[in-house]
């Protein structure tokens, strides 16, 4: 179980998948060079994993934790359906764990969607809520947790996502659409101090910024030279053998 140490915060979060370090798998937890990666074996305290074993331990949402620990695809689908029915207060961390568990049970297209949705929802949180004004232990844990999920889980999930670039492009856009259509209701809680300006306007600006990043990524992936660079980097890191099975 690969761990995430709080002292190594990954501030950039690889939030724009166009970053070649995110796409190439350069930070993927070490495995045999050409071994298919079947699971996302990570430990992100306090949300996911057990530092003493490879057991699947989930601590993100009391209504979903036990189902997310299941190895049955049907149980992971149940969580997805429950979230789709009532998404307003579901945390980005819960979406991250949903993404990981979808990968682990072999539903990897779902994994990619929820990974991007988790990052997009977290970005709206970061762009609307004044975390510095609310700097308590819990907010440090949230920031570190998201960084850990992206640093350790992101290379695996993106490793698969970029096996099919047109599908990756469509999935990223669809994830941003979902986050816009289902705003995180925590952003409007009075006990969560906002950044300067109107909360709703800051939320709209966050979505617009994410769409701009996605547009840049799409343009990068449409550039033959950049696409060639990506494919060469993936080949160097045996990415197709690891993820495109």
d(CA 221, CA 18): 8
The pLDDT assigned to 38 comes to 96
Nearest to 14 by CA among 127, 156, 109, 129: 156
Range 67-83 average pLDDT: 98
> Is a pLDDT exceeding 60 seen at residue 114?
yes
Lowest-confidence region among 51-55, 143-147, 211-215: 51-55
> Is a pLDDT exceeding 80 seen at residue 170?
yes
> Is a pLDDT exceeding 80 seen at residue 215?
yes
20-71 tens-digit pLDDT: 445 444 444 455 578 999 999 999 999 999 888 888 999 999 999 999 999 9
Range 211-222 average pLDDT: 97
| Band of residue 136 on the pLDDT scale cut at 50, 70, 90 | low
Range 110-116 average pLDDT: 98
Radius of gyration of the chain (CA): 17
The pLDDT assigned to 106 comes to 98
The pLDDT assigned to 120 comes to 98
| Higher local confidence (pLDDT), 67 or 11 | 67
Nearest to 122 by CA among 90, 151, 154, 170: 90
Range 77-106 average pLDDT: 98
Q: What is the pTM of this model?
A: 0.89
d(CA 22, CA 158): 7
Task: Report residue 98 as tokens.
Answer: 């949903």
| Band of residue 195 on the pLDDT scale cut at 50, 70, 90 | very high
- What are the CA-CA distances from residue 121 to residues 15, 157, 227, 241 (Å)? 11, 17, 28, 31
> Look-up: residue for tokens 């920031």?
143
Task: Report residue 76 as tokens.
Answer: 């992971």
> Is a pLDDT exceeding 80 seen at residue 88?
yes
Please give the mean pLDDT across all residues of the chain: 88
β-pair type (2-3, 53-58): unpaired
> What percent of the chain shows pLDDT beyond 70?
84
Where are the chain's structural domains? 2-19+31-243
DSSP letter at 129 equals B
| Band of residue 210 on the pLDDT scale cut at 50, 70, 90 | very high
| Band of residue 12 on the pLDDT scale cut at 50, 70, 90 | very low
The pLDDT assigned to 6 comes to 35
- What are the CA-CA distances from residue 224 to residues 124, 227, 231 (Å)? 32, 5, 10
Judge whether 218 and 143 are in contact, CB under 8 Å. no
């Amino acid at each position: 179980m690969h761990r995430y140490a709080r002292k190594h915060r990954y501030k950039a979060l690889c939030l724009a998948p166009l970053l070649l370090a995110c796409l190439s798998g350069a930070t993927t937890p070490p495995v045999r060079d050409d071994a298919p990666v079947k699971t996302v074996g990570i430990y992100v305290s306090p949300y996911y994993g057990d530092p003493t074993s490879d057991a699947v331990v989930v601590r993100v949402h009391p209504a979903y934790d036990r189902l997310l620990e299941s190895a049955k695809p049907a149980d992971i689908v149940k969580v997805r359906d429950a979230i789709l029915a009532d998404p307003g207060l579901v945390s980005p961390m819960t979406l991250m764990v949903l993404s990981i568990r979808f990968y682990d049970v072999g539903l990897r297209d779902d994994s990619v969607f929820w990974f991007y949705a988790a990052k997009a929802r977290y970005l709206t949180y970061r762009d609307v809520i004044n975390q510095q004004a609310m700097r308590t232990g819990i907010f440090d844990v949230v920031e570190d947790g998201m960084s850990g999920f992206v640093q350790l889980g992101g290379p695996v999930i993106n490793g698969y996502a970029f096996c099919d670039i047109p599908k990756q492009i469509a999935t990223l856009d669809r994830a941003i659409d979902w986050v816009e259509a289902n705003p995180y209701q925590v952003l409007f809680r009075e006990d969560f101090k906002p950044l300067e300006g109107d909360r709703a306007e800051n939320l709209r600006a966050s979505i617009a910024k994410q769409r701009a990043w996605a547009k840049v990524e799409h343009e990068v992936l449409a550039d033959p030279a950049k696409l060639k660079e990506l494919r060469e980097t993936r080949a160097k890191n045996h990415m197709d053998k690891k993820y495109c099975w």
